[in-house]
């Protein structure tokens, strides 16, 4: 019996992606149990039919799979190994799906001897998550992947098994590395355009319609043109975290990634300037000096 048909599914972490995944499961007739550090995030899902738990261990009671979509390694550690964590009182019998972007080695360490663990790199945005249009890149044992695949395919238009546990995170970091560099490069071009007397919006339209633009650049060009970074698709502080993880992975492998390192530094600086909870396109705010300062 597969994890998609065996019983309810828990979703822990109700940010942009977690909320979308929970909504998708509800729409597909799956019983859903949810948990979030700030309980008010669970209220819309509870009204839609989900059970809102007060702690992670309660959320996974009676479930066949648990999907963790929290922000970082510390949050994932709390959800899995904290006093009220999924694994705090022994093993979890269902499939434990770690879809939080953390260091690949951290997934392996936190999973420990849990019998059925997958790490999943998600490619897509909130709309893709809600509509089952994600692309998922999965690491973990073949038998666990095979059992969990029907559930994953309910959430995505493409599901790829890459290999051992940690592989999903390795792919996700590579993908976010590209996005961080691409969006920053476009933001730099737009800032140079404005400083040179060109019309910023016209330049961004030109970039978006050119052969140089990727789909994500075309999408983010609209945010840069409007200068609106609220209601983020992907928070800037999370991009900063992922770029730093990528540089750490590179250093551990003996590689020098100068573009990644430069993008990481810019995203960290923008986060420190207070823009971390805006969309990642707000990295453009770190490219201009504040009046009266050297920064």
Least confident of 1-15, 88-102, 220-234: 1-15
Reported as a pLDDT band with limits 50, 70 and 90, residue 7 is confident
Burial of 181-219, coded b for 16+ CB within 10 Å and e otherwise, reads bbbbebbebbbebeeeeeebbebbebbbeeeebeebbbe
Dist. CA 42–CA 276, nearest whole Å: 23
pLDDT at 8 over 50: yes
Domain assignments of the chain as residue spans, ordered by start: 3-164, 171-287
Q: What is the pTM of this model?
A: 0.91
Dist. CA 262–CA 181, nearest whole Å: 9
Average pLDDT (73-101) is 93
Of 3.40.50.720, 3.40.50.300, 1.20.1270.30, 1.10.1130.10, the CATH number of 3-164 is 3.40.50.720
pLDDT at 5: 55
Average pLDDT (232-261) is 96
Q: 20-54 pLDDT, tens per residue?
A: 999 999 999 999 999 999 999 999 999 999 999 99
pLDDT at 293 over 50: no
Q: 216-238 pLDDT, tens per residue?
A: 999 999 999 999 999 999 999 99
pLDDT at 244: 98
Q: Are 270 and 286 spatial neighbours (Cβ–Cβ below 8 Å)?
A: yes
Residues in Cβ contact with 221 at an 8 Å cutoff, skipping those fewer than 6 apart: 186, 204, 205, 207, 208, 213
pLDDT at 90: 82
pLDDT at 4: 56
**CATH dotted code for 171-287:** 1.10.1040.10
pLDDT at 89: 81
Catalytic-role residue among 6, 172, 201, 220: 172
Dist. CA 213–CA 211, nearest whole Å: 6
pLDDT at 211: 96
Q: 117-151 pLDDT, tens per residue?
A: 999 999 999 999 999 999 999 999 999 999 999 99
With 0-12 / 13-18 / 19 or more C-beta atoms within 10 angstroms meaning exposed / middle / buried, residue 76 is buried
pLDDT at 290 over 60: no
Domain pair 3-164 / 171-287, same fold: no
Reported as a pLDDT band with limits 50, 70 and 90, residue 205 is very high
pLDDT at 184 over 90: yes
Q: What percent of the chain has pLDDT over 90?
A: 92
Active site residue 6: no
pLDDT at 109 over 60: yes
pLDDT at 153 over 80: yes
pLDDT at 292 over 80: no
């Amino acid at each position: 019996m597969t994890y998609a048909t065996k019983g309810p599914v828990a979703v822990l972490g109700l940010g942009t992606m977690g909320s979308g995944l929970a909504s998708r499961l509800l729409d597909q007739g799956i019983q859903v149990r949810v948990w979030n550090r700030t309980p008010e995030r669970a209220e819309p899902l509870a009204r839609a039919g989900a059970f809102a738990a007060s702690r992670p261990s309660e959320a996974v009671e009676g479930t066949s799979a648990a999907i963790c979509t929290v922000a970082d390694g510390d949050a994932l550690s709390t959800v899995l190994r904290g006093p009220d964590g999924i694994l705090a009182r022994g093993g979890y019998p269902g499939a434990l799906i770690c879809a939080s972007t953390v260091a690949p080695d951290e997934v392996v360490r936190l999973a420990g001897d849990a019998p059925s663990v997958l790490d999943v790199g998600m490619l897509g945005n909130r709309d893709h998550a809600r509509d089952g249009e994600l692309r998922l890149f999965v690491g973990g044992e073949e038998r666990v992947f095979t059992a969990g695949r029907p559930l994953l395919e309910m959430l995505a238009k493409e599901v790829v098994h890459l290999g051992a546990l940690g592989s999903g995170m390795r792919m996700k970091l590579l993908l976010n590395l590209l996005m961080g560099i691409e969006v920053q490069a476009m933001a730099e071009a737009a800032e140079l355009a404005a400083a040179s007397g060109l019309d910023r919006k016209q330049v961004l339209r030109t970039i978006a319609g050119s052969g140089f633009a990727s789909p994500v650049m075309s999408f983010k060009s609209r945010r840069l043109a409007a200068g609106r970074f609220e209601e983020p698709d992907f928070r800037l502080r999370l991009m900063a975290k992922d770029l730093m993880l990528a540089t750490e992975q590179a250093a551990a492998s003996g590689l020098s990634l100068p573009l990644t390192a430069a993008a990481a530094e810019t995203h960290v600086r923008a986060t420190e300037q207070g823009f971390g909870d805006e969309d990642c396109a707000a990295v453009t705010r770190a490219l201009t000096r504040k009046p009266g300062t050297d920064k």
